[in-house]
Amino acid sequence: MSEDFCSGFISLIGRPNAGKSTLLNHLIGQKIAITSDKPQTTRNKIAGVLTKEKWQMVFLDTPGIHKPNDRLGDEMVRAALNTLGEVDVVYLLVDATVPYGGGDAFLLEKLKKVETPVFLLLNKIDRLRKTDLLPLIDFYQGKMAWQEIIPVSALQGDNIAALLDATVPFLPAGPCYYPEDAVTDQPERMIIGELIREKVIQATREEIPHSVAVDVELIEKRSNDLLYIGAAIYTERDSQKGILIGKRGEMLKAIGSSARSEIEKLTGNKIFLELWVKVRENWRNTEKHLRNWGYGNER
């Protein structure tokens, strides 16, 4: 490692569906955070690690800032806001295709109170007419003092290299906080659980996604090339359990098949995935369940 090596932490914050997890996956070059077009998909702070010859950046993907409706929502918002004073740079992602609103104003008021350099990333420019971009930049320039304003497409990778180049000068001299080949701080068990939850979100209708948690109960090598994984999908009502299982178990089979393919890419093993559905009423407001399933550790 060279003497002029630098390293630092960057927080990715924004409204739900701003594209934070998509950006993280693109930066790291592989999928470590689940994505969905449904809001409030990300529930935990996830670190993605990118190491180059002269620097290491640790990106913290955070839950979308929203008005909480339960204790889980409270913990998600707290996890996101707590990163503001803990990092070297803040990336505020804004969906450039969505009009400015009260949630954006709330976030900007929070950011005005921190001394950390803030980059405004106007995301999803691949969906925006070019004639609309300059007026949008002018609009946000008047809202606060940004360190940088960079239009990006997290999905297509537009301007990502320029974003990294602009970030490097703000990294303090420091060591590699993670091994050079590391891509995340998340244990494999947690990533597997999140991949299963992603497939639930994608497969079910509106009433299901926010009420679901996944607990990977067992990971066991059954042979040299076969990994057994047993996981419970928790929801809050018997009616939701019925939807998740589906007629003759077809919904649960579809979720399992889709998740198995993603997990095999992650682990490099053939997977035997067994899923079952359990009901825990009102778990999103229950302290024990929030702690047991890894939510609400940000105090």
User: Is 80 in contact with 63 (CB distance < 8 Å)?
Assistant: yes
How far, rounded to the nearest angstrom, does the alpha carbon of residue 182 sit from its chain's CA centroid? 17
pLDDT tens digits in sequence order for the chain, 299 residues long:
556 899 999 999 888 888 888 899 899 988 877 665 554 444 456 789 999 999 999 998 877 664 555 555 556 566 666 777 788 999 999 999 999 998 889 888 888 888 899 999 999 999 998 899 999 999 999 999 999 999 999 999 999 999 999 999 999 999 999 999 888 888 888 889 889 988 998 888 666 667 788 999 999 988 878 999 999 999 988 988 998 999 999 999 999 999 999 899 888 889 999 999 999 888 777 777 777 766 654 43
All CATH 3.40.50.300 domain ranges in the chain, comma separated? 6-170
- Where in the sequence of the chain do the CATH 3.30.300.20 domains occur? 188-292
Residue 230's nearest CA partner among 179, 184, 277 is 277
Q: Closest Cα partner for 160 from 118, 108, 119, 107?
A: 119
Name the class of domain 188-292: alpha beta
Helix (H, G, I), strand (E, B) or coil at 1: coil
Beta pairing, strands 118-123 & 148-151:
parallel
For residue 184, the tally of other CB atoms under 10 A from its CB is 21
pLDDT digits (tens, 9 = 90+) for 54-97: 999 999 887 766 455 555 555 656 666 677 778 899 999 999 99
Architecture per CATH, 6-170? 3-Layer(aba) Sandwich (3.40)
